[in-house]
Amino acid sequence: MSFALTPGFSVPSTVIAIVLKGLSGSVCVARIFGEVRRVLGPGGVLLVGFQSGTGERRVERAYGHDIALTAILHEPTAIADALTAAGFEVTAVAERAARGSEKHAQGFVLARRP
């Protein structure tokens, strides 16, 4: 099933959104994108959201709870390159500055499976 928006353009009903947090290194990201490509139907859309930058940050408290999490920062171009290498067509790359209590910029990459 798809929804016609304008002549010649449609949005497949299969859409996957992923938030990358705490994933280490390009090998882990590449494996995830490879698996998503395998299960996402042709024409399916993938939106990836993540904390943008380089390095890591330690999270010890979130949403009122004590936790132990190492958040890995990712550059938007690196995520776009990893998606391309996994066989996706990247359609948009965006980054916005941190807002409010956020400590890092936020990155977003939109891609589709051919």
The pLDDT-based confidence of 11 (bands split at 50, 70, 90) is very low
Q: Measured between alpha carbons, how far is 79 from 60 in angstroms, rounded to an integer?
A: 26
Q: Measured between alpha carbons, how far is 82 from 110 in angstroms, rounded to an integer?
A: 12
> Is residue 105 over pLDDT 50?
yes
Yes or no: say if 42 and 87 are a contact pair by the CB < 8 Å rule.
no
User: Strands 9-12 and 15-20, how do they pair?
Assistant: unpaired
Choice among 14-23, 29-38, 103-112 with the minimum mean pLDDT: 14-23
Mean pLDDT (the chain, rounded) = 80
The pLDDT-based confidence of 31 (bands split at 50, 70, 90) is confident
Could you give the domains of the chain?
A: 2-112 (3.40.50.150)
Enumerate the β-bridge partners of residue 109: 48, 93
Q: Measured between alpha carbons, how far is 6 from 106 in angstroms, rounded to an integer?
A: 30
Give the amino acid at 39: V
Question: Tens digits of per-residue pLDDT, 43-93?
Answer: 888 898 888 999 888 888 888 999 888 878 899 999 999 999 999 999 999
Yes or no: say if 94 and 76 are a contact pair by the CB < 8 Å rule.
yes
pTM: 0.77
